[in-house]
Structure 1
Amino acid sequence: MLHLDGRVMFFTPRQQQLVELNESAAALVEQAQSGITLHDMAMAFVPHAQTRHDAQHMAASWLADACESGLFNAAIAPAPAHCAGFSVDLGGHDFEVVADDAALIDELRPPYGELIAPRGSGQRIHVIPFGDRIALLAEGGEAQFVAPGRLATRLRHTMLTNILSRESRIALHTACLVRGDRAVLLCGSPGTGKSTLTLALIAQGWGFAGDDIAFADPSGMVQGLPLPLTLKRGSWPHAAAWADVEQLPVHEREDGAVLKYLPVRPVDARPRRVGAVIRLQRQDGAQAAVDGWDRVAALQTLFGEAYSESGQSSAGMVRGMCDLVAGAQCLTLSYGEAADAAHLLAEDHALAF
């Protein structure tokens, strides 16, 4: 903590901000840094609460706020046994989500209905009620605190972050489908209809391999990451033609965006050669049409939106992406309605494989 002109400030490394603290907050932060327990911290809230339970709830909520602000990290010890949970297999990345509150598990399980694996496998993620927040605690990581309405989106983010931290392959920001024995990558900026077109192509018999992440290896092959299909608010009316979107629960992201998760059965998880890389250009009223896309531009687009844990791409990764594009059709798909675009791509002459 820093002291200046009789006032107390705290530097938060995570947000890179200076936060001014009042006298009570400064005392709590100082005690917390010394290793105070939640029970002892609750004593500071007793004068402001009707019961000790309320005081502990207030202390937990304050601690969650402080951790989210980057003031410090809370060490939360999960319970040794849990009454509820489920395991999922995300293309070879396994997670077990556990909680003492069965209602939390009932809320989180449905999007992963097509990905359920035998219990007890994978990295464990604990879901722990904490004041007016929910704490997510992945083994080996820090506790994350989230409002109840944002729990499902934070769980997905936690899984994805964990997967990316362990992957040596480069992550491409594309939807990944399978036609025959080849992968098809759909690229496009937000609003171009990747998720809706994915549903339309699944209805045409294509396989689902990944929502918006595919991993490319140095040999030029890709494997989709089969997270539940994310449907943003604008896509709900269009997606309703292929799925019962209305009955899906609404979830909120940290940025305030609302969305729904649709469970989709994926194809078998394995690397595949890429048959086509398709850039989507959607405009209301446009007729579905396919044109060529410059391979260099396609490679630059894929590379520009790619991610690797190290923050750098090796020569082998870049060579693999070049081989990926060289062996694939690179196309631009212009369309207005997803159904028309899916019918066009399903025609024998549209794709050369």
Structure 2
Amino acid sequence: MLGKTSAEMVLRPAAGAIFALVDGRSVLFSETRQKLYELDQLGAFIWCKLAQGASLEDVHQELGQLGIGERAAREFTWQAMNVWIDRGVLDLDWRMSADCAFSTVLGQRRISVRAANRELSQQLISLFCVTDDSGEEEDIAIETMMLGDRVFFRGNDGSIHRCEAAALAPTIKAHITERLIRSNQWAFALHAASLAKCGMGLLLCGQPGAGKSTLALELVDAGFQYAGDDVALIGADGTICGIPFALTLKQGSWRLLSRLYGDWNDVTHRRSDGAEVRYLPIPDAHNGSLSAKWIIFLNRVASGPVELTPLDQLDSIKRLIEGAFAADGKLSQSGFFALKRIVAGARSFQLIYSESAQARQLLMDLCDDKA
């Protein structure tokens, strides 16, 4: 067994991983992947020390005795561990406490989250609008653990992932979203925010940067029910199911967030693309299926008046196909007919706007049959 790094976590060879010397050269054989990986002298030293039960700190100190500085020793060790994890020859084995655990429901799937400590738990709970600890069996399980200054997490699909602490919540959000999209329950997904007005669905469609989250924040303040700000799951019958993670707001929306909610939460998270975001849980979020009555394609411009232009069904379908994606990368025939059902039951528009407040008023009028 590899070295123990804390009371909760142990580094161990993955099933089927074997260390050997071949003609004086150090190798790792992966039975699972049917591959042979050669180790350099430093990598072999680190692997063998860990295999003998040394902790990471012990390895760093012994590398120091070989004349390698502390910073370089840590970098060498982490580089080796990252490669071994990616190649499936190194596993992390940990035991989680039930004290920092919670559950929720997203996309009609139960999600359970367990964290190694309260700090990690608080970072993750900010992702969700509500928790639901009914004790039912989970569909998706996430466990998180700190190792040094890095965070590792694993799902019940057996995969192990890592990220920086500041990126934990956005990374977990992306992981759960991908798992939901891969579910056989959904025909495909759309890049769209989803809201409800009097029980009917409103889709705000657009690629990242189109202003979906900011406009969703404006509409929630105007009395719309929030159902998700990033991805909408589409069933074969044409119904829409948002993924109501907490509203995710980038820096350009923080002034509006402060105006509407005050400085209630200034915790900043960093996404993999480098963008800094803050999360706003919406307590009464809609967590079920909706029928779309309005489909809005967003076109945010630098300046100019707000303009709402009706679209015919064919134009709407073409635009939706551009923003649609599926687990296998293809829109199926059943997915196409689901799109057709959505468009047939909804009114579609292109919204050109520069200021979210003006767009808010126009959409309020539209949904109140005043526009």
Query: Which amino acid in structure 1 is aligned with residue 157 of structure 2?
Result: G
Partner of 1:338: 356
Q: Is the 8 A contact 2:191 2:206 kept in 1?
A: no
Alpha-carbon separation, structure 2, partners of 1:323 and 1:352? 25
Q: Is the 8 A contact 1:88 1:116 kept in 2?
A: yes
Partner of 2:225: 207
Q: Is the 8 A contact 2:96 2:116 kept in 1?
A: no
Partner of 2:161: 144
Q: Percent identity?
A: 25
Residue among 43, 66, 83 paired with 1:66: 83
Secondary structure of 1:264's partner?
coil
Query: Which amino acid in structure 1 is aligned with residue 364 of structure 2?
Result: A
Alpha-carbon separation, structure 2, partners of 1:26 and 1:294? 65
Aligned positions of 1:76-95 closer than 5 A: 76-79=92-95, 81-95=97-111
Alpha-carbon separation, structure 1, partners of 2:52 and 2:278? 35
Alpha-carbon separation, structure 2, partners of 1:215 and 1:352? 29
Q: After the TM superposition, which of the residue ranges 216-225 and 78-87 deviates more from structure 2?
A: 78-87
Q: After the TM superposition, which of the residue ranges 261-270 and 225-234 deviates more from structure 2?
A: 261-270
Instruction: Call closer, same or farther: CA 1:348–1:83 in 2, change over 3 Å.
Output: closer
Residue among 133, 146, 152 paired with 1:118: 133
Secondary structure of 2:159's partner?
coil
Q: After the TM superposition, which of the residue ranges 170-179 and 81-90 deviates more from structure 2?
A: 81-90
TM-score (norm 2): 0.78
Query: Which amino acid in structure 2 is aligned with residue 131 of structure 1?
Result: G
Partner of 2:298: 280
Partner of 2:144: 127
1:39 paired with 2:68, answer no
Q: Is the 8 A contact 2:226 2:286 kept in 1?
A: no
Partner of 2:123: 107
Alpha-carbon separation, structure 2, partners of 1:176 and 1:231? 15
The gaps in structure 2 that reach 5 residues or longer are: 1-18, 20-24, 29-36
Alpha-carbon separation, structure 2, partners of 1:66 and 1:233? 34
Moved over 4 A (4+): 7-10, 19-22, 26-29, 40-44, 57-60, 348-353
Query: Which amino acid in structure 2 is aligned with residue 220 of structure 1?
Result: G
Alpha-carbon separation, structure 1, partners of 2:106 and 2:238? 21
1:318 paired with 2:318, answer no
Q: Is the 8 A contact 1:236 1:245 kept in 2?
A: no
Query: Which amino acid in structure 2 is aligned with residue 218 of structure 1?
Result: A
Please state how far the C-alpha of 1:21 moved relative to its aligned partner.
6.7
Residue among 176, 200, 207 paired with 1:182: 200
Partner of 1:259: 277
Partner of 2:6: none
Secondary structure of 1:77's partner?
strand
RMSD (Å), alpha carbons: 3.4
State the aligned residue count.
331
Alpha-carbon separation, structure 1, partners of 2:367 and 2:98? 55
Please state how far the C-alpha of 1:64 moved relative to its aligned partner.
4.5
Q: After the TM superposition, which of the residue ranges 169-178 and 75-84 deviates more from structure 2?
A: 75-84
Instruction: Call closer, same or farther: CA 1:8–1:281 in 2, change over 3 Å.
Output: farther
Query: Which amino acid in structure 2 is aligned with residue 115 of structure 1?
Result: V
The gaps in structure 1 that reach 5 residues or longer are: 2-6, 11-18
Q: Is the 8 A contact 2:46 2:77 kept in 1?
A: no
Q: After the TM superposition, which of the residue ranges 57-66 and 87-96 deviates more from structure 2?
A: 57-66
Please state how far the C-alpha of 1:288 moved relative to its aligned partner.
2.3
Secondary structure of 1:146's partner?
strand
Q: Is the 8 A contact 1:74 1:143 kept in 2?
A: no
User: Per-residue displacement from partner, 1:156-183 (whole Å, max 9, x unpaired)?
Assistant: 1222122222243111110111112211
Alpha-carbon separation, structure 2, partners of 1:224 and 1:88? 14
Alpha-carbon separation, structure 2, partners of 1:329 and 1:38? 67
Instruction: Call closer, same or farther: CA 1:349–1:309 in 2, change over 3 Å.
Output: closer
Query: Which amino acid in structure 2 is aligned with residue 291 of structure 1?
Result: T
TM-score (norm 1): 0.81
Secondary structure of 1:25's partner?
helix
1:218 paired with 2:236, answer yes
Query: Which amino acid in structure 2 is aligned with residue 95 of structure 1?
Result: I
Alpha-carbon separation, structure 1, partners of 2:27 and 2:316? 49
Instruction: Call closer, same or farther: CA 1:218–1:99 in 2, change over 3 Å.
Output: closer
Partner of 1:97: 113
Residue among 164, 171, 177 paired with 2:181: 164
Please state how far the C-alpha of 1:293 moved relative to its aligned partner.
2.2
User: Per-residue displacement from partner, 1:279-338 (whole Å, max 9, x unpaired)?
Assistant: 112224422221112432321222222222233332122111111112211101122221
